[in-house]
Chains A and B, each alone.
Chain A
């Protein structure tokens, strides 16, 4: 998709992302609805081999509604994961440099898409964390605590946290392996890209919660748990946040992105859609060639945005459909006369 900045290319990618994940990677739900309208609706026909299905997501003031082939899907957890999405956007750069919050969001998005048990455990965990923090806060006001209730919440906290930590570890191990290979091929080097999971809480979760109960009560919040987890990127055994160049960081994230396409294909049995927002302009011809070859190999439908076609080597565009975007409208371009 070719078009100047601000004409709506990113909005289009965002719409595909929302269709798959029922929320945006950059906007609040409210901001997805046009200010004069009651709701936003995104619909697409999804073609998988010989099969077709029509998926819609409706976002309104009272919540979200998911529809597949005219049947409403009652629970969003049954909907998310039907259409898998991997995105590389300018915001993706924050994965290394940004806060742990963004990295946890990253884990949750990909595990949530590919693993229903993770999605459910995470929803339940977030809920029990809120409950626990509220109870701790009430203690701050009344200096009374229902210890039985706190024990119950600890028990639930541990139950859900265990699932989340275990699955995060397995996910990082799996994606790390894939990204390491991609990075070496992409950079044509033997540089070693790795990921390291940093869980905030150890194995015996109940024991840790018990031993930290006093400080949790004092601070009126839960100080340890999956909501404080993080992971780090290492390049040749040095922390990429501090020691990798901007360019190396970009390639590291691109490697993870490509690794995720393979991960989701492997786990879900369905090839995800890949969204690449403004990535080619930064790549030299050798890396462009590699990226295109990988995309073709993976079989993933890929939607690429760029401000100018001259950023992409024309040989790499032979198999691509081209669209121009202007003032919020998208037009398919005829391929004639483009072979310069």
Chain B
């Protein structure tokens, strides 16, 4: 038997989340109907709507922010000569938590992956090329994941920026090929940034 339309719509909405398959989505949707009262549901839906209204990518670095430019880009105390290139905003939070990096960021918001239909023009990359063309930036530190896609993205950015006077470096990883940045603890991350190597 098919679900009523409203229930089916919610099931499909939950399926958009990573790690949620059809059966889990069904459980979440039924839980919402049976266990959550109207206030909880309306708070939940308000939070979702507010999130999309208030949060947007920074027009300079692409990091998620509720002001523009973001607090990092508009902080004169940050080292304006260094930019760390990351694949997602989540990684900015990880590095900020480690507390030892004082430069700027650039969030690509994706990685190059022909299989997923993502080319260099589909990520926040042209803005990086423009950004480093002033004389302020001296070094670009590539900190995409050590996955195949993260590595390909770093290699690509390096090839494009190679003709400039910039120092292009890649952070060193204490974790083997195939791992994600999110699994690294704060100490590992700090070390990795210290031990970056020039391409």
When distances are taken between beta carbons in the complex, the residues of chain B under 8 Å from A149 are 112, 114, 119-120, 152, 156
By CB atoms of chain A within 10 A, which of B113, B114, B156, B160 has the most? B114
Whether the pair A74, B183 counts as a contact (CB closer than 8 A) is yes
Closest residue of A by beta carbon distance from B112: A149
A77 interface residue per 8 A CB criterion: yes
Interface size bracket, A side: 20 to 34
Whether the pair B179, A75 counts as a contact (CB closer than 8 A) is yes
When distances are taken between beta carbons in the complex, the residues of chain B under 8 Å from A131 are 113-115, 148-149, 152
Closest residue of A by beta carbon distance from B148: A127
Closest residue of B by beta carbon distance from A62: B21
Whether the pair A156, B155 counts as a contact (CB closer than 8 A) is yes
CB distance from B37 to the nearest CB of A (A): 28
When distances are taken between beta carbons in the complex, the residues of chain B under 8 Å from A151 are 159
B41 interface residue per 8 A CB criterion: no
Whether the pair A61, B120 counts as a contact (CB closer than 8 A) is no
Whether the pair A135, B148 counts as a contact (CB closer than 8 A) is no
CA distance A60 to B27 in the complex (A): 15
CA distance A128 to B152 in the complex (A): 9
Interchain CB contact (< 8 A) of A152 among B19, B22, B23, B156: B156
When distances are taken between beta carbons in the complex, the residues of chain B under 8 Å from A138 are 114
Whether the pair A134, B156 counts as a contact (CB closer than 8 A) is no
Binary contact readout A117-128 vs B (1 if CB under 8 angstroms, 0 otherwise): 100110110011
Closest residue of A by beta carbon distance from B157: A152
Which chain B residues in 148-199 approach chain A with CB under 8 Å? 148-149, 151-152, 155-156, 159-160, 176-179, 183
Pairs across A and B, CB under 8 Å, 7 listed: A61-B21, A124-B178, A146-B120, A149-B119, A149-B156, A152-B155, A156-B148
Nearest 6 pairs of A and B residues by beta carbon: A134-B114, A127-B148, A62-B21, A61-B21, A152-B155, A135-B114
Q: A: which residues have CB within 8 A of B?
A: 38, 60-62, 74-75, 77, 116-117, 120-121, 123-124, 127-128, 130-132, 134-135, 138, 146, 148-149, 151-153, 155-156
